[in-house]
Chains A and B, each alone.
Chain A
């Protein structure tokens, strides 16, 4: 079972959905909750061993893999701090967002 690709977006015209059916939402919600954040996760790259525990427990799934460490997509990270609490190597610290 491999699904290592992105899925094509649903196309109303191709799928022959009648336009008088009912309201059908096809646009992705544009909300990015990164601006809720008061604390930001910062990874110590020297300490990161790429165990993916942060990815596993990140509710937003905003963890992104880099060649030698894991980092966060700050557009969606809400700053909950679960990653910093769970990191087995304590490589993540939460720092206050500057004003």
Chain B
């Protein structure tokens, strides 16, 4: 396998051209206040039609043109870090590279009379934290690829998940990480529904997989794990269940297995409803949401107006904390590094006790949003505190792993999808209140954990 590299990402919609990034760069690189020497340049201006800013910065291209036009071999791409390095002792100051680059990423520094370019500050770029608007991001997800990118995907190449299915993404990452010595249980829902269990003599999974009833997933998996222990084989017992199969009808077996401390990793894919069977409500469906059993509109005789679900969602992960499991965490696929850390801890905890992972999984079909917006919706859920990312162990108690101290208004999340389109101002107010209440409950738990 080759390698992937970290990159500095720029979001022009968040940039107001303040120039803090340029000042940070000039100060770190040259101890100078002259922003024209900065290796990152923000170009553009505020106009009547709005602002239009562009970035002039070395992209550290995968297939760089500057290195091929350089006649002196002074520019080389570092195969380890991905940074394009400039060797001043070889450079003949011909400036061909500045013409070869499409991004104005390498330019003449008039103070020294030589070219200068970004070296990402050896993996800790000064410009990124200097941006007060979050327009610059240092994307480090390549770390995950460099570690697991060539591990085998343990699902079949073709699964019948909807286009842009978050659950399929989660399953593939999870099983690859958990590994081949795994027995997988998937109760009725989208996970087996998309073909991971298979039919007619074919399977969608490269590890032993079985299809329990909605009610007995945890109980059946516990028995299988115990049998493997009896014959002396070390396996990970993994369940990937939907929120319906875990919080409603499957709850008693889940609760029982957690209480007994069965050694398994129970992952709940929370798409907030029975999406596989046609988007019916579950106890994890949030207040106000449209589902096929909490419809929106007038009844046929016009006597009754329905405005989506009238009850609040059950907070299943907090209920699991009250089982004092070996590990409980909530996660989101939009925060993949956080998810991977929690997955590793959960795998470890499942060797000695019950590990529970609750992953929020936006459903493009059931929540009514375009397929390409899936990560956007998942990210908004966290940024508005609609979903909070925390973990629990008996030793450390509850603590936030990605706290959001300045949450966006919950409307930013609600308007991203169609299932909340009908909400009245009162309903939105109710949801905002619930978000804040849920936040206070988890905060209280986290504070008490520190006090103890």
**Chain A contacts to B: CB under 8 angstroms:** 3-7, 9-10, 23, 25-33, 36, 45-53, 55-62, 65, 67-70, 73, 75-76, 78-82, 84-86, 88-89, 94
A31 contact from B150, B156, B164, B180, Cβ within 8 A = B156
**Chain B contacts to A: CB under 8 angstroms:** 1-7, 9-10, 59-63, 65, 82, 102, 137, 139, 141-142, 144-146, 149-154, 156-161, 163-166, 168-169, 172, 179-180, 195, 198-199, 201-204, 206, 208, 333, 336, 364, 370-376
How far is B374's CA from A36's CA once the two chains are assembled, in angstroms? 18
B151–A3 touching, CB < 8 Å: yes
B204–A29 touching, CB < 8 Å: yes
Chain B residues within 8 Å of A68, by CB: 62-63
B201–A23 touching, CB < 8 Å: yes
A61 in contact with B153 given A49-B5, A49-B82, A53-B141 (CB within 8 Å): yes
A79 contact from B102, B150, B163, Cβ within 8 A = B163
Chain B residues within 8 Å of A10, by CB: 206, 208
B198–A4 touching, CB < 8 Å: no
How far is B374's CA from A82's CA once the two chains are assembled, in angstroms? 7
Interchain Cβ contacts under 8 Å between A and B, 19 examples: A4-B151, A10-B206, A28-B203, A29-B202, A46-B63, A49-B5, A50-B142, A51-B5, A52-B4, A56-B141, A61-B172, A62-B157, A69-B63, A80-B164, A85-B376, A88-B7, A88-B9, A89-B9, A89-B59
B373 contact from A32, A59, A85, Cβ within 8 A = A85
A75–B179 touching, CB < 8 Å: no
B150 contact from A4, A9, A76, A81, Cβ within 8 A = A4
Extra contacts besides A9-B206, A51-B5, A60-B159 (20): CB < 8 Å: A3-B180, A23-B201, A25-B198, A25-B199, A27-B203, A28-B156, A29-B159, A32-B157, A49-B61, A50-B4, A52-B145, A59-B166, A59-B169, A61-B169, A80-B163, A80-B165, A82-B164, A82-B374, A86-B375, A88-B139
Chain B residues within 8 Å of A31, by CB: 156, 158-160, 195
Chain B residues within 8 Å of A29, by CB: 156, 158-159, 195, 198, 202-204
How far is B1's CA from A27's CA once the two chains are assembled, in angstroms? 27
A89–B375 touching, CB < 8 Å: no
B180–A75 touching, CB < 8 Å: no
What distance in Å separates the Cβ of A74 from its nearest Cβ neighbour in chain B? 12
What distance in Å separates the Cβ of B407 from its nearest Cβ neighbour in chain A? 22
A33 in contact with B158 given A7-B206, A25-B203, A51-B141 (CB within 8 Å): yes
A81 in contact with B375 given A45-B62, A50-B5, A69-B62 (CB within 8 Å): no
